[in-house]
Homo-oligomer: A and B are copies of this chain.
Amino acid sequence: MADRRATVAVDGFGVEHGFDVLASGIGEAVGDGIAVRVFGPSAELEPRIGDLDPVEIVDSVESIGNDEEPVGAVRSRPEASIVRAVADVAAGDSDSVVSLGSTGAAMAAATFGLKRIRGVKRPALAAQVPLPGRTVLFLDVGANVEVRARHLVQFACLGAAFMSAVNGLERPQVGLLNVGEEKGKGRPVDREAEASLLEITADPGFGAFEFLGNVEGRDVPAGIADVIVTDGFTGNVVLKAMEGAVATVTGAMKEAARSNPASAVGGLLLRPALSGMRRDLHPDTTGGAILLGLRKSAVIGHGSSGAEGVANAIRLAARSAEGDAPDRTSALLASTGLDRREKDQTTEE
């Protein structure tokens, strides 16, 4: 895989700003040498993408919307663009998949359509939180609203392997989100996961990641670790609350700048510097969230992405395939014994 760039299957529906933006984003990614197979309406895509190479348009006119119940929609509609894009990866025609549409539908389609890594019972959705100077991989942000300690430990491995394989970190720092830094804090599930992570990483032969122990809510936006792990309920509300807090502060700043002529001039003078800051903190710069724990990579970008966001989502999917993140994850899980099947099988399996 090192000799050529990956082929990425792109769900052609879901970009809120329309097909022009999707097409420019694909164009940017292809400019980097990535091959794209896009599953969307030829009538819209042909005129916009034209002879761009290597891009293949696979005519798909059916899509799953944000308002549909994802699991039922994915199961019942094999012709939907996201289901076909995932099937393309499963068949080996693409290396990884990108969706900018319904997160639920993309998660369901990928979980059903792609094989899980040995021993992984619960794939996790990982968001990349862009911060000045560091990107934090934060998971789970919504795939599993309830977890057992074993799953949190696996999430640590999934996240660390991803950050090594895709972002090139040699020994990522991993934290467990909790209500305090001291040992033994939190719910039983957190205490058990903490103990288990301490045990695994205490082995002098273990070098895959460094476990920082418990970290607090403020440590996520402070960028204290490369990977921060929690259950999918907590991760989802924390991620959205942080995004909302940033929006509230930047909104209040704009109000402040409008409050009188002097501050308006101040706002104008600051604008170029602030736009750099906004780019640093903007979700589009990371390419979106990634579903970890499957043998192939699935990236879920923001529906509100601009062309750069679309391109970065495709780049992320390509890098993830090229870095062999799933293989590295398998190896890490095997080295920790976490690839063995859970003893207490339930009806979930």
Residue ranges of A at the interface with B (Cβ–Cβ < 8 Å): 131-132, 142, 145-146, 177-179, 186-188, 190, 216-223, 230, 232-234, 236-253, 255-257, 259-260, 262-263, 265-274, 276-277, 280-281
Chain B residues with CB under 8 Å of A237's CB are 177-179, 216-217, 230, 234, 238
Chain B residues with CB under 8 Å of A247's CB are 218, 221-222
Evaluate whether A273 and B248 lie within 8 angstroms (CB atoms) in the complex, with A217-B239, A236-B217 already known.
no
CB-defined A-B contacts under 8 Å, sample of 16: A142-B179, A145-B179, A145-B186, A146-B187, A179-B232, A217-B243, A218-B247, A223-B248, A238-B238, A249-B249, A249-B250, A249-B281, A253-B277, A256-B277, A263-B274, A266-B270
Chain B residues with CB under 8 Å of A251's CB are 132
Counted per complex, copies of this chain come to 2
* Secondary structure call for the A interface: helix
Smallest CB-CB separation from A257: which chain B residue? B270
Q: CA A290 – CA B106 in complex, angstroms?
A: 42
Evaluate whether A187 and B268 lie within 8 angstroms (CB atoms) in the complex, with A221-B244, A248-B221, A281-B252 already known.
no
Q: B245 and A246: CB pair below 8 A?
A: yes
Q: A217 and B241: CB pair below 8 A?
A: yes
Q: A268 and B266: CB pair below 8 A?
A: yes
The 9 closest A-B pairs by CB, nearest first: A266-B269, A217-B240, A218-B244, A266-B270, A217-B237, A256-B273, A217-B241, A221-B244, A245-B245
Chain B residues with CB under 8 Å of A234's CB are 233-234, 237
Chain B residues with CB under 8 Å of A260's CB are 273
Q: A187 and B253: CB pair below 8 A?
A: no
Q: CA A273 – CA B266 in complex, angstroms?
A: 10
Q: CA A237 – CA B178 in complex, angstroms?
A: 7
Q: Contact check: which of B131, B142, B252 meets A132 at CB < 8 Å?
A: B252
Smallest CB-CB separation from A234: which chain B residue? B234
Evaluate whether A132 and B270 lie within 8 angstroms (CB atoms) in the complex, with A217-B237, A256-B277 already known.
no
Chain B residues with CB under 8 Å of A220's CB are 241, 244
A116 smallest CB distance to B (angstroms): 22
A152 smallest CB distance to B (angstroms): 13
Q: CA A241 – CA B259 in complex, angstroms?
A: 29
A171 smallest CB distance to B (angstroms): 24
Q: A273 and B263: CB pair below 8 A?
A: yes
Q: B233 and A186: CB pair below 8 A?
A: yes
